[in-house]
Structure 1
Amino acid sequence: MPFRLYFGEDDLLRCRFAVSALWETQEAVRTLHRPERHGYHVPWLRRIHAAAAGLDLAPLRLLMPRRGHNPDWLGPPPIGPAATFEEEIAAVRAADPQAALDDTARALADTPGALDSPRGRALLADPVRMIEELADLLEAAWRALVEPDWPRLRALLEADVAFHSRRLAEVGLGGLLPELDRRFAWSAGTLTVDARSSHERELRGQGLVLMPSVFSWPDVVSGFDPPWQPTLVYPARGIGGLWAEPGGHAPDALVRLLGRGRAAVLGALDEPAGTSALAHRLGLAPSSVSGHLSALRGAGLLTSRRYGHQVLYERTPLGMALASGGI
């Protein structure tokens, strides 16, 4: 069934990318209980099993119907390109109680039996307390499930944004959107999403937030209802290697040319990445990786750009050729 968004001229000027720690926390909770999402995340699931068992996530899961409405107040669109979890959860805690009550009742109605369940009735009985309790539970889920791996997750998400920002400059919005996911189609100012529900919306100058996600895979998510800014969530590039441990050895010829450490760093940059992510991936000290990155960039093998909290590095054409053995 199609989901259609209609763009005007002003909307084309108000499209932006974002990364959200709050969103990844909610999707991590969903992923725990959806086997179809486990494929790439088995190492993570094994590692956080004990921590997840110590959380009572039932109130959150009650508001996460497989089909239907999810409460927008509990996970509003990102407030900026590099907002912290603390900034995002503060916005959740500041939700208007009446609006949150109506939003929550709508979500409970889409979960069979939830509206009349004891937990459902308890949530609706006191919206101020509901906001506090669910925000506390989201924060506990963040601390236990996502925060320990956030540098790695953020590096992947920001690398996706860096890559697709460059593609946007090269092919424009109409060319980029179908590249983000095979379920997106663009024609004459209309974005059509092959989704589970049918919905149409004119953006009316609000533009669109494009947000890569790790834990949403393999789904694409279209939201939010007015007055929230429309947001399109798609699986981030490179998820297949997200939980990979330090890889094999660099080719001997590259080691002889650059040294083992620099060869390993150059070989690991299949996707743009920052210092901390590379250090974790390679099992090296961040200070050592930083030195190798500076040397490789000075030799013309890497370029760098700042995005959000960190500097992302990627290979130049010469660096690609060396890493692949083409020279």
Structure 2
Amino acid sequence: MQGFSELQLGRLDEVRVSVVLHPGVTLLSLTAGTMGGRPHGVPRHWRRAVMASAPRNAAEVLRPLFAPQFSVIPDCVSPTVSMSEVDADTHLERLADLSPDTLLSELEAEFSPAVPAQWQPVVERPRAWISAYAHLMRMLWQEFKPVWRRADSLLKRERERVGSAVVSNRLETVLGNLSKRFQFSGTTLGLPDQQAKRFDLAGRRLALVPIVSGNGASVFAFDDPETAWIGYPLPALGVLWDDSGHEPPASDSLALTLGQARATILRMARASLTMSEVASLLRSTPASATYHCAQLEAAGLLERERHGRHVRIRSTAKGEALVDLLA
């Protein structure tokens, strides 16, 4: 069963918050969600593109990092080792220059008294593994870098959104809506983790790191003495999921908030629609239309109506109010 690690925040009005636009966190989430078996919600066409760019030995190289019973990745092989906003290529250059002795020392310290079985091939040939791993991560990033660049305006908007919430003393609103996979209650934030532990912020800086990979992204580290950081799905990430790569115009606030497909559904659902009509409207498969409608329904923006043997969807009062608000 999936557990949760908890971060005790203390008084929210005393928490020092920053937003870090860190490409390395996105790269780690993308790798975990594409080839590591983690539920990060990476969309199918992104997964296909990333996997097509990966070397043949990718699964073997990544096996030590994503064993089902472990969530810890040694800092020296993570592109998230530093919370500085340098480009991912700089992180990858450091990784390629990693000393085998450093890796072995960190494995011993992290997994004392015994290094787990999945890391034994790395212990036996550390230099070869570092070279293969650095090459793999570089190939994945080269494939995904254009998506990160397209997300630039959304990332900057997210920094402004969080900054505004902090200034107006509404941090609890931000923390309570980071992800459906997270749990927030009072002053405690819970994040899914196979090795559930309890941590205390204890006056450290809290860095929020929006991730451009999938709507289930979850990456965090609470062991740094100065900063605890949490990676979460970038809001409005769906606007980047169109294969064309075109972002909606800045004037379309509804699409920037919900994504183009869901904004289209919500605008048209004032008049009830069947699922086949929704699929036709989106020029998508029925499965894709059903998925988007289910997400809008879960948010209280759509409701189902039965008409004989057919089910139709219609926007709720809350959904209509959102369309009016962001018109």
TM-score by length of 1: 0.61
Q: What is the match of residue 209 of structure 1? A: 207
Q: 2:166 aligns with which of 165, 168, 172?
A: 168
Does the 8 Å contact 2:220/2:229 carry over to 1?
yes
Matched residue SS, 1:4: strand
Does the 8 Å contact 1:89/1:139 carry over to 2?
yes
Matched residue SS, 2:205: coil
Does the 8 Å contact 1:213/1:233 carry over to 2?
yes
Does the 8 Å contact 1:15/1:208 carry over to 2?
yes
Q: What is the match of residue 185 of structure 1? A: 184
Does the 8 Å contact 1:238/1:271 carry over to 2?
yes
Instruction: State yes or no: 1:114 paired with 2:99.
Output: no
Q: Give the aligned residue type for 2:103.
A: A
* 321 and 134 in structure 1: CA distance in 2 versus 1, 3 angstrom threshold: same
- 2:10 and 2:250 map into 1 onto residues whose CA distance is 44
Compute the displacement of 1:199 (Å).
0.7
Compute the displacement of 1:268 (Å).
7.1
Q: What is the match of residue 90 of structure 2? A: 87
Q: 1:33 aligns with which of 35, 38, 42?
A: 35
* 158 and 65 in structure 1: CA distance in 2 versus 1, 3 angstrom threshold: farther
- 2:144 and 2:251 map into 1 onto residues whose CA distance is 28
Q: What is the match of residue 75 of structure 2? A: 72
Query: 1:14-53, aligned counterparts within 5 Å?
Result: 14-33=16-35, 37=39, 41-52=43-54
Matched residue SS, 1:266: coil
Q: What is the match of residue 309 of structure 2? A: none
Q: 2:146 aligns with which of 136, 139, 148?
A: 148
Compute the displacement of 1:126 (Å).
5.5
Q: CA RMSD in A?
A: 4.1
Q: What is the match of residue 279 of structure 1? A: none
Q: What is the match of residue 287 of structure 1? A: none
Compute the displacement of 1:3 (Å).
2.1
Matched residue SS, 1:210: strand
Residues 280-301 of structure 1 deviation map (CA, whole Å, 9 limit, x = unaligned): xxxxxxxxxxxxxxxxxxxxxx
* 129 and 239 in structure 1: CA distance in 2 versus 1, 3 angstrom threshold: same
Q: What is the match of residue 281 of structure 1? A: none
Query: 1:99-138, aligned counterparts within 5 Å?
Result: 99-104=102-107, 106=110, 113-115=117-119, 120-121=120-121, 123-125=122-124, 127=126, 130-138=129-137
Instruction: State yes or no: 1:61 paired with 2:63.
Output: yes
Q: What is the match of residue 221 of structure 2? A: 223
* 23 and 108 in structure 1: CA distance in 2 versus 1, 3 angstrom threshold: farther
- 1:70 and 1:9 map into 2 onto residues whose CA distance is 30
Q: Give the aligned residue type for 1:100.
A: L
Instruction: State yes or no: 1:271 paired with 2:270.
Output: no
- 1:139 and 1:36 map into 2 onto residues whose CA distance is 20
* 39 and 126 in structure 1: CA distance in 2 versus 1, 3 angstrom threshold: closer
Instruction: State yes or no: 1:234 paired with 2:219.
Output: no
Compute the displacement of 1:98 (Å).
4.6
Does the 8 Å contact 1:18/1:78 carry over to 2?
no
* 217 and 73 in structure 1: CA distance in 2 versus 1, 3 angstrom threshold: farther
Does the 8 Å contact 1:5/1:202 carry over to 2?
yes
Structure 2: segments with no counterpart, 5+ residues: 258-322
Does the 8 Å contact 2:33/2:40 carry over to 1?
yes
TM-score by length of 2: 0.61
Structure 1: segments with no counterpart, 5+ residues: 249-262, 273-319
Compute the displacement of 1:48 (Å).
4.1
Query: Percent identity between the aligned chains?
Result: 20
* 6 and 111 in structure 1: CA distance in 2 versus 1, 3 angstrom threshold: same
- 1:24 and 1:169 map into 2 onto residues whose CA distance is 27
Q: What is the match of residue 289 of structure 2? A: none
Matched residue SS, 1:66: coil
Query: 1:234-253, aligned counterparts within 5 Å?
Result: 234-245=232-243
Q: Give the aligned residue type for 1:16.
A: S
- 1:264 and 1:232 map into 2 onto residues whose CA distance is 29
- 2:184 and 2:243 map into 1 onto residues whose CA distance is 36
Matched residue SS, 2:21: coil
* 83 and 160 in structure 1: CA distance in 2 versus 1, 3 angstrom threshold: same
Q: How many residues align?
A: 255
